Amino acid sequence: MRSKLFRIRLPLAVFLILILAFLAAGYLTIHVTLMGKLTEDGNYLRIDMKTIEFKLPKSWRTPYPYVLPFWENETICAIYLLNAEEDAMTYIIYYKTQESVQGFMGEQNITDEFSIAIFEIERFYGWFQKKSQNATLQFVENGTIKVSERQASYSKIQIKNISMSMEENETYNITGIFISSLTKRNLLEIIFYTWRDQAWNATYDDFQILVNSLVVKRESE
């Protein structure tokens, strides 16, 4: 008679226990690593990546169990961040080389830094307009800021009267900011938006800390 543990054949039980042990060890390693990168106030994680570094609120996350680029190769890095309440999103897109920047701008017929933000806004709005014909776009504020010691253009917008579904009469509003920083060698885009009116005020301070702490470490030659 073959030995069994919890009604499972012993070799299989040992294998499953080993797998669980490795998973637990991996989780603890990730947890300890992240806790080791906490800022002094304990409210943010200091994310130090190959391409960029920034401070991330502890309650924010990515689709991964810990922060890694959502997608990255030698020319482009893209990161997707979501807050704990899942009502605020941040995208960071970094075109690392002059060739990738020229390819993007040439394909979209874009000529300057501010036009990049406008292009992304129109593309973003167009996606919602296809699903909700009554949605309206309003530009709230345009200006310039500094990101990682680079000049950047930004535009704050609201998209109002977005239908929840075809069957329901409920609508919601999106508030967002689109930031673009263009140099001769690379392009940095940051997009932040919320879809609950109270979420903007609740999360915008955290977003500003992320932006103010962001450092582009990899510049193309």
Condensed to tens digits (0 to 9), the pLDDT of residues 98-135 reads 999 999 999 999 999 999 999 999 999 999 998 888 89
Helices then strands, each counted (H, E), the chain: 4, 12
221 part of a folded domain: no
Tokens of 10: 């012993």
What per-residue confidence (pLDDT) applies to 58? 80
| More confidently predicted of 156 and 14 | 156
Q: What are 151-204's pLDDT values in tens digits? A: 999 999 999 999 876 666 788 899 999 999 999 899 999 999 998 878 898 899
71 part of a folded domain: yes
Task: Tell me: do 73 and 118 sit in the same domain.
Answer: yes
For residue 133, give the amino acid letter.
Q
Task: Tell me: do 82 and 59 sit in the same domain.
Answer: yes
93 part of a folded domain: yes
Task: Tell me: do 31 and 47 sit in the same domain.
Answer: no
60 part of a folded domain: yes
- Domain containing 5 equals 1-36
Number of folded domains that form the chain: 2
Mean of per-residue pLDDT scores for the chain: 81
Task: Tell me: do 49 and 157 sit in the same domain.
Answer: yes
Q: Cα dist. 44→57, 129, 151 in Å?
A: 4, 36, 25
Task: Tell me: do 71 and 133 sit in the same domain.
Answer: yes
Burial class (CB in 10 A: 0-12, 13-18, 19+), 131: exposed
Task: Tell me: do 12 and 77 sit in the same domain.
Answer: no
Least confident of 49-53, 63-67, 79-83, 180-184: 63-67
Task: Tell me: do 65 and 28 sit in the same domain.
Answer: no
Burial class (CB in 10 A: 0-12, 13-18, 19+), 209: middle
Q: Are 132 and 195 in contact (CB under 8 A)?
A: no
What per-residue confidence (pLDDT) applies to 140? 97
**pLDDT band for position 217 (cuts 50, 70, 90):** confident
15 part of a folded domain: yes
Q: What is the CATH number of the domain that holds 123?
A: 3.40.1000.10
What per-residue confidence (pLDDT) applies to 106? 94
SS3 assignment, position 46: strand
| More confidently predicted of 18 and 155 | 155
For residue 14, give the amino acid letter.
V
Q: pTM above the 0.85 mark?
A: no
Task: Tell me: do 151 and 56 sit in the same domain.
Answer: yes
Mean pLDDT along residues 82-87: 84
Task: Tell me: do 86 and 169 sit in the same domain.
Answer: yes
110 part of a folded domain: yes
Least confident of 9-13, 57-61, 112-116: 9-13
What per-residue confidence (pLDDT) applies to 34? 47
| More confidently predicted of 143 and 76 | 143
| More confidently predicted of 218 and 136 | 136
The beta-strand segments (E) located in the chain are 4-5, 8-9, 44-48, 52-57, 71-72, 76-82, 88-95, 136-147, 150-163, 171-182, 187-194, 215-216
Task: Tell me: do 10 and 76 sit in the same domain.
Answer: no
Q: Find residue 9's DSSP bridge partners.
A: 4
Mean pLDDT along residues 16-21: 53
Task: Tell me: do 186 and 152 sit in the same domain.
Answer: yes
